[in-house]
Chain A
Amino acid sequence: MAAHLKKRVYEEFSRVVQIPHEEAPAKKLRLSKPSKSAALHIDLCKATNSTDALQYLLQFARKPVEVESVEGVIRILLEHYYKETDNSVRLKIASLLGLLSKTNGFSPDCVVDDVINTLGNEKSHQVLAQLLDTLLVVGTQLPESPAVRPRLVEVACKLLSDTYFGVRNKCLQLLGCLGMVDTPLAKDSDGPSSSIGGVRDVQSIISNYFSDQDPRVRTAALKAMLQLHERGLKIHQIIYEQACRLLSDDYEQVRSAAVQIVWVLSQLYPESIVPIPSSNEEIRLVDDAFGKISHMVSDGSWMVRVQAAKTLGSMLQVSPHFLEQTLDKKLMSDLRRKRTAHERAKELFASGEFSSGRKWADDAPKEKLDTNTVNLIASGACGAFVHGLEDEMFEVRIAAVEALCQLARSSPSFAEKCLDFLVDMFNDEIEEVRLQSIHVLREISTHITLREDQLDTVLAVLEDSSRDIREALHELLCYTNVSTKECIQLALLDLLKNLNKYPTDRNSVWKCLKFLGSRHPTLVLPLVPELLSTHPYFDTPEPDMDDPAYIAVLVLVFNAAKSCPTMPALFSDHTFRHYAYLRDSLSHLVPPLRLPGRKQVYSLDSVDPGCGSGSVESAKLFLQQSLNRVSTIQNLETPGAQDLLNFTIRDLQRLGELQTELAGAADFCATYLRCQLLLMKALQEKLWNMAVPLCLKQNVTATAAAQQILEETYKLEFLYSGLESRQVATIHHVRLQAKALQLILTARTRPGLDLLISSCEKFLQEIESFQRMFLTELPHLQDGFVDKLLELMPRLLSCKPVELVKILQSSLRQSGLLQLRLPEQIHRASATIIEPTGESDNPLRFTTGLVVALDIDATLEHVQEPQDKVKVQVLYPDGQSHVIHPKPADFRNPGPNRHRLITQVYLSHTAWTEPSQVEVRLLLAYSSSSSSPSSSIKSGWSDSIDGLPPAEAAVEGTIPFSKPVKVYIMPKPARR
């Protein structure tokens, strides 16, 4: 019963994947289908009226057609087309022609003539449009065909004068997709293209339709122009004026497309000069376009507003004068100039006074305005972002925030100005917008220093009940510069309040204070006595060391003390003791300090990571030297090689611990060398000279070694990011060696001939695929194992298995150690489970057969696409293991190369007599086929073709990449 229940529960609450131990080889089936053309022909002949025919065609369209019979089917369809009188059937046939032309492997140029012929005789406008659509499909299938393209363009030009909008639309689309790419060339060479058939410039033809009477055609014309741009044609500047006029079109889709065109032109010709109408002045085109697009931020349609707001963000060439106008808002009240709340806040801050709203009308307007100077009709960029940020639709607001961010990143002065507005957005009604604006502020925070009143507003958000918001804000505070010591105090107080209200934020708050301290040592200094509550005369009680708030204060102080040598003098005795304790327990938060008379505290850390870039350089040098030393090993049998490897591995591991920046690289090298060491041990001389039955034991170790090397190579390949193909080749090379070793061992132990032959063949295939994959890298692999094998390849292919094994054995032993070349940056993927901590002694009790949800909170570093790769494994004491895929929404991305996984896993088990521990850890899934670029392309008609078998049988597996955490659980038997 319980088991049954449990099964049900799993089905409902989680997706559990059992790791398959053995994969049965999939059987390949090739289904041959009866020719479809014949069947279609019969069906169509049977059809008595148009409705029937339409039904048959609809049914036919549901099933795919194989490549061989496409041609036949098209003939039959065309034949029927000529006979058919009903428009709808002809329409369907035309659309089928288009679909069929898309079939992979079918060259549709034979369709073109027929379709163009039918165009001439067609009366129905709808069918005409559909036929043109078919031509469009054909045209996009054959983009390079010199014969087809001019014909299609010609057809399109001819039909452009049709009265039906659909036909004109399709013609414009055709022109956009296929219009002469060589027209720009025609200018300088006065070339043949312009003379052929007197084809006019496609751009001017398209731009004629900018003023078509039908809005749909206008849109299509604009889109076609954009298409031309996307295909790499240079759009002429002449259409700028026309496009600007379309910005005030009655129809939103036209305006939206016009915004895009204007943007494209502003990027193409930013510096050319355009006149301002009704005055003699002239301005840069990009500024003009910026003003016009800004104007669209207060458009009537929100789609256009989103489009405009997004577009503004990418116009980085705009002059600062125009940029700053976007935040301009002149307030007035009863025709008197009024200061904005932002300005008032600033003044209050400057005057050192901190009260507002206490006086009646303290925001009362003062100076009188001249009516002539007030500009009500927003011209140009005036206040575009002010409008965008206050918009009704959150899509517009988000777009505006993003645009602000992009612009602010490139202009520090603008960043300073938009600060107030971004801070205002922290109070938006939609969480997404709030979060986005916090992220944005973080991104531009290098440019800005927060004032006290601004910081105050920012800190108010720390009480938000949403964890994402709070953590984003912590992240922001990590990067923030503040101006006064009061700010530091304010921030500290609010963070402590936050810690008090939401204790789970502990780590995040501490980390935040770490950065705050190390950024502002001089501001923290005057606060130290107060923070540590020391007193010149009196001894104050020693604070509780386990209090998270006290730790938070200490983290702030110690990090500030790192670059402020005078600070430790202010510490009292217990502070030093606490320092020693925290330095050990929270070493990632507390930096090493040079404390007077306390040298023993940091004497261990002789290679101080804080000593600047010099140490990194020297560490790099050391790494390189170690690698060079190893490379002196000629081949695997060099005496003393093992010791050298052993020492180098030890050195590298220590280096990785000391120098965090090189940890990835050092680790990578060490693992690689360990593989080599294992290989060396397995190949030791004495092992191989003994008769087989005598050395069973050694055989076992060698087999284990081979297996381990294989596993390590997968780790090397998939756990590290930043690898180049050269390193990957080296890793594969090691893998090949391990596989050779396995083969040799197989040959020695089990002389069953069939098995041997098949494994030999497999090995040879692997060599070939290696050669194919790393053709460019082969020169670097000289003197390696593969190099030797490839020389002997012709012999290997012909010789017997036994001989092959012998060759392998000798070349394995003689081949040299490949030198490892390090890439620029190499990072090891790592994961830390923050929660559960594994410290709890209280078991999680639940009724058997039901589930208990376990909250998991983990940080992942240097993991690409964690949504697909990271899994949670739960290991029960009875050896059962479950793998759970977290939902994509559970991953957050707080910073570059960092991810955060906050999810719940559901545990369940049959009843236990006493509580016991389950292990939870994170796995990184890999699949060797995923590294090849063309993974799977699926289209509607191609399912009849089996995808090519991957070059190498895909190896899938998982690498545990976090420390396991133990969780105490207790499933109780259900009470009946």
Chain B
Amino acid sequence: MPEIKVTPLGAGQDVGRSCILVSIGGKNIMLDCGMHMGYNDDRRFPDFSYITQNGRLTDFLDCVIISHFHLDHCGALPYMSEMVGYDGPIYMTHPTKAICPILLEDFRKITVDKKGETNFFTSQMIKDCMKKVIPLNLHQTVQVDDELEIKAYYAGHVLGAAMVHIKVGSESVVYTGDYNMTPDRHLGAAWIDKCRPDILISESTYATTIRDSKRCRERDFLKKVHESIERGGKVLIPVFALGRAQELCILLETFWERMNLKAPIYFSTGLTEKANHYYKLFITWTNQKIRKTFVQRNMFEFKHIKAFDRSYADNPGPMVVFATPGMLHAGQSLQIFKKWAGNEKNMVNPFPEQRKLDVKMQVEYMSFSAHADAKGIMQLIRMAEPRNMLLVHGEAAKMEFLKGKIEQEFNCYMPANGETTSVITNPSVPVDMSLNLLKREMALGGPLPDPKKPRAMHGTLIMKENSLKLVSSEQALKELGLNEHQLRFTCRVQLQDPHSDSDTLHRIYTHLKSLLKDYTIQHLPDGTVMVESIVIKVSSSAEDANSKVLLLSWSYQDEDLGSYLSSLLKKGLPT
């Protein structure tokens, strides 16, 4: 039986270093190629030796697909393509292709320059790797080769995040990457059509969470910032450079606009600035509001948000600063935090401080996250209507719960890293049918084919050079250059009858005539009786004149009638 095999090299019952191998219809595909943030050793990258012990991966993989630019989904890409060796196509969306190298370069800098690691990929390797990338558009079907096709769908989450639909013949797999089913201030909600894949590989970060509405969180956030600003305080918002930062910027920017506020908002320079540039460009990937209003004004061209300079931190008066990194453990955000912590008017949002510091400033915690919650996952399942479900990118205990829920309806798998799940499919085999034959069969049945009932038909299946054709038998003979052979069955029936041969024949004729009213029965002058196309002859046996031998002969097509006649005649004639 044909089957689809899925093996996670990373992200199996785990969050981090997403890397999933799929073999479908004889094709091998790698979905995402990420790194693990938690490790600094070999566990950082997926174990590519699973694919091959030595040599390059090119021979074993048909393509690599990257869902979005987060490092846990693309961090190992240069390592795999340049250091392990892969020359095949790498697919990602346009925004991902634009932003991914910035993040990789940043990652490389921190690892090599700051931590001093050796044997790491170089800037050149990142460049070479990106040369192998083929960009994807949303809803564009891309033929990787003759049989394998992929199609990207919008996934929300971050700019350029995509879900991919992978199809070989009639077998298909959908990989969601990370996605978000609730829209936010700058991105829309994930959407997929009812493609009914064999397997849906879904992330399950929030498998056991149902979230509150986004509005409450936003309102809370805005209210707290606003109050602090009104008191004349300074607000520090530690963020990671990409993703949520842009959402919060838009949120504050529109709020400032609406409420006519004047306090400055600053954004730490560097990485974020570069990324903002791409957000401006890829307007089509954002949500309805930004898409519709960008003609008047591009929402990412911030009016109130300016680049931050170190010296601004000492400026008097209220201000809001977005600073990296989000963990508040180093860098700019920590510096500013130390400076402002002494004043109770100021506010920080959202992470706690561990070292001893006299913190008088207020600390508020907020979480903005862009993964689908349990209900969102179910909603996606309902949209796509898959036959099987496979959970990755989540903690095992949480997956267990969701798995239980899903299994009420259909199969659900949650393989660990390196564990292979195979799903048996029964792909339908498409066959070309000749138009003549179709029309002939249509004429026999009702006017319209009933889509719900299968129908039997006669025809010849020709398999030639990987193509299947269903044609009428005459055409098949002609095409194959064969002569038509007739298959006839003959059968002798012993009959005790004292009459002469011709009389017996006549008696048979009248007998059949009386029984089979609907058939044409002829008594031919050459001493035979024809029932339709069945020939009946009589000859007396040599030894006994009374016992006659009836010779029946019929063609293969008239098998039913022929066997009926033979059994009928075996019973003898009426006296």
Contacts and interface: CB of A to CB of B under 8 A. Distances in A.
Q: Do A and B bind each other?
A: yes
B314 interface: no
Contacts of B223: 457, 460
Interface string B180-223: 00110100110111100000000000001111111111111011
Given A300-B194, A357-B366, A390-B183, A331 B210 contact: yes
Interface of B: 182-183, 185, 188-189, 191-194, 208-220, 222-224, 226, 254, 257-260, 287-289, 352, 362-366, 374-375, 378-379, 382-383, 398, 401-402, 404-405, 409, 447-449, 451-452
Interface in A939-959: none
Contacts of A211: 452
For A213, A300, A371, A428, the residue with the greatest tally of chain B CB atoms inside 10 Å of its CB is A300
A360 B352 contact: yes
For A376, A391, A428, the residue with the greatest tally of chain B CB atoms inside 10 Å of its CB is A376
Contact of A378 (B192, B375, B398): B375
B14 to A, nearest CB: 17
A333 B375 CA distance: 12
20 contacts: A300-B192, A331-B210, A332-B209, A335-B208, A340-B213, A357-B364, A357-B365, A358-B362, A371-B405, A378-B375, A378-B379, A389-B213, A427-B219, A427-B222, A428-B215, A429-B185, A460-B226, A464-B258, A465-B257, A465-B258
Given A360-B352, A360-B365, A464-B259, A376 B212 contact: no
Given A161-B447, A213-B451, A466-B258, A390 B214 contact: yes
A329 B212 contact: yes
A330 interface: yes
Given A424-B219, A457-B219, 18 more contacts: A161-B448, A163-B448, A213-B451, A300-B193, A300-B194, A332-B209, A338-B210, A341-B220, A342-B216, A357-B224, A357-B365, A374-B374, A376-B375, A376-B378, A386-B213, A392-B188, A421-B213, A430-B289
Interface string A361-382: 1000000000100101110000
Contacts of B182: 390
A250 B210 CA distance: 28
B259 A465 contact: yes
Contacts of A427: 215, 218-219, 222
Q: Please give me the 6 A-B residue pairs with the lowest Cβ-Cβ distance, nearest first.
A: A341-B216, A392-B183, A424-B215, A465-B260, A335-B208, A357-B364
Contact of B210 (A163, A332, A360, A429): A332
A430 B215 CA distance: 13
Contacts of A482: none
B29 to A, nearest CB: 26
For A335, A378, A391, the residue with the greatest tally of chain B CB atoms inside 10 Å of its CB is A335
A211 B452 CA distance: 10
B215 A250 contact: no
Contacts of B448: 161, 163, 213
A390 B258 contact: no
B220 A357 contact: yes
A821 interface: no
A334 interface: yes
Given A334-B208, A334-B209, A430-B289, A341 B224 contact: no
B209 A333 contact: yes
A424 B208 contact: no
B405 A300 contact: no
B194 A424 contact: no
B380 to A, nearest CB: 10
A425 interface: yes
A163 B365 contact: no
B208 A330 contact: no
A424 B191 contact: no
A719 to B, nearest CB: 40
A392 B383 CA distance: 16
A578 B424 CA distance: 88
Contacts of A333: 208-210
Contact of A391 (B183, B226, B257): B183
Contacts of B217: 341
A334 B379 CA distance: 19
Nearest to B377: A376
Interface in A316-337: 329-335
Interface in A417-441: 421, 424-425, 427-430
A501 interface: yes
Given A465-B257, A501-B260, A340 B447 contact: no
A463 interface: yes
A876 interface: no
A699 interface: no
Interface string A388-410: 01111110000000000000000
Interface string A605-634: 000000000000000000000000000000
A481 interface: no
B287 A376 contact: no
Nearest to B402: A376
Nearest to B451: A213
Contact of A340 (B189, B212, B219, B288): B212
B362 A371 contact: no
B269 to A, nearest CB: 27
A153 B379 CA distance: 44
Nearest to B378: A376
Contact of A393 (B208, B254, B288, B375): B288
A103 to B, nearest CB: 37
Interface in A431-476: 457, 460, 463-466
B500 to A, nearest CB: 59
Contact of A425 (B215, B363, B378, B401): B215
A673 B451 CA distance: 80
B492 to A, nearest CB: 51
Given A389-B213, A457-B219, A377 B378 contact: yes
Interface in A830-848: none
A298 interface: yes
A347 B248 CA distance: 28
Nearest to B299: A429
A424 B218 CA distance: 10
A457 B220 CA distance: 10
Contacts of A457: 219, 223
A250 B209 contact: no
B260 A358 contact: no
A421 B219 CA distance: 12
Contacts of A250: 194
B212 A331 contact: yes
Contact of A376 (B258, B288, B405): B405
A211 B451 CA distance: 9
A390 B452 CA distance: 39
Given A357-B224, A371-B404, A464-B258, A394 B288 contact: yes
Contacts of B401: 335, 371, 374
B398 A392 contact: no
Contacts of B210: 329-333, 338, 376
Contacts of B382: 377
Contacts of A356: 220
A329 B213 CA distance: 9
Contact of B208 (A332, A377, A421, A425): A332
Interface in A210-255: 211, 213, 250
B451 to A, nearest CB: 5
Interface in A577-621: none
Nearest to A386: B213
A386 B447 CA distance: 48
Contacts of B365: 357, 360-361
Contact of A298 (B209, B215, B379): B379
Contacts of A429: 185, 254, 289
A931 B236 CA distance: 65
Given A161-B448, A371-B401, A376-B405, A300 B383 contact: yes
A340 B216 contact: yes
B194 A376 contact: no
Contacts of B224: 357
